Amino acid sequence: MSNVSREDPLVRVLLAAAALVVGAALGAGGLLIGFLLTLVAAAVLVAGAGVEISPALSLVLGLVFVQGIGCAGVALTYYKLRPVAAPKIQSILNIAGSDRPFGIGAAVPDLGDAVTVVVSYALALGGAIGGSILIQAAQSISGTELDTGSNAAAEIGMENPEVLLLLIPASILLIGPGEELLFRGVVQGRIREVFSPVPGVLIPSVIFAGLHWFALSGGSPEGNLVALGLLIVPSLVFGSAYEYSGNIVVPSLVHGLYNATLFSLLYLVVAFGDELPQQALLGLAS
């Protein structure tokens, strides 16, 4: 019996729905697993070794277990299991294989990639900070003020400036690579199998920004929605950089440099005064 064509209208709808569910589940799952592992590690340190969990140690545990193990671990596990599981599922459902094979492109950046990194970094940083300034200006003109939440890691950094000095290199070495491997390499890669480039970049960007709701501390629901809306700007840039380059190293560098810059600016705010938009920077780190 021949396989059902992937071009059948009903099959296309089912494949699109499956891609959305799997993509969102992978993104949320990576963060959730990392968070649970962080709690377990903290509990072991407290109960087993009597270690006091300081803000700096809490942040280190989060970086290792969320970005390092949760995000990267889920991404690599899916990447390894996909070639084995996908044909079996397609055989059970009697659906033909995809014409767009799943993969994560990775290579040492060439000159073209370097240009993409520089341009994307400028767009992400300029778009996010520019959008934040416009929203603040609109609030000032209207006389209303939104209570936006702040990034929990950045908030810890505000109270413990030395932590920001840790977050700057960690952005490039852990946060950027870990989150991009999961959200661009796997989530975007999975969704792009059945969607064209525009929704294939937009949907993972919305998933990425939306899941940052749980990283925000305080704020009203309306204010946090605005903060997440601002995060879509850099997220779209990261996704576009991967779509254009086909090299996961490119968005990883862009994301890492973006976060490192925000944490650097935030450190300058803490160290030298309030000349920089402190509240805006607190909400933009991703």
Question: Within a domain: residue 2?
Answer: no
| 16-44 mean pLDDT | 94
**Cβ contacts of residue 107 below 8 Å, gap of 6+?**
113, 247, 249
Question: What does the pLDDT read at residue 141?
Answer: 78
Supply the mean pLDDT for the chain. 86
Kindly tell me if the per-residue pLDDT of 1 is higher than 50.
no
Q: Is residue 82 part of a domain?
A: yes
Q: Decide if pLDDT at 23 tops 60.
A: yes
What confidence tens digit (pLDDT) does each residue in 203-246 have?
999 999 999 887 776 767 777 787 788 889 999 999 999 999 99
Q: What is the domain extent for residue 162?
A: 9-284
Per-residue model confidence (pLDDT) at position 276: 46
* pLDDT of 92 above 50: yes
Average pLDDT over residues 256-268: 90
Total tally of structural domains belonging to the chain: 1
Q: Single out the residue of 206, 190, 212, 277 nearest to residue 238, CA to CA.
A: 206
Rg value, the chain, Cα: 20
The answer to whether 203 and 235 are in contact (CB under 8 A) is: no
Instruction: Using alpha carbons, select from 72, 12, 29, 23 the residue that is nearest to residue 191.
Output: 23
Residue 186 belongs to some domain of the structure:
yes
User: pLDDT tens digit string along 168-188?
Assistant: 999 999 999 999 999 999 999
Give the residue-averaged pLDDT of 139-144: 72
Question: Is residue 3 included in any domain, yes or no?
Answer: no
Residues in the chain: 286
Residue 249 in any domain: the answer is: yes
- Domain membership of residue 4 (yes or no) is no
Average pLDDT over residues 255-279: 78
How large a percentage of the chain has pLDDT more than 70?
A: 88
Q: Is residue 59 part of a domain?
A: yes
1 within a domain of the structure (yes/no): no
Rounded to an integer, the average pLDDT of 87-109 is 81
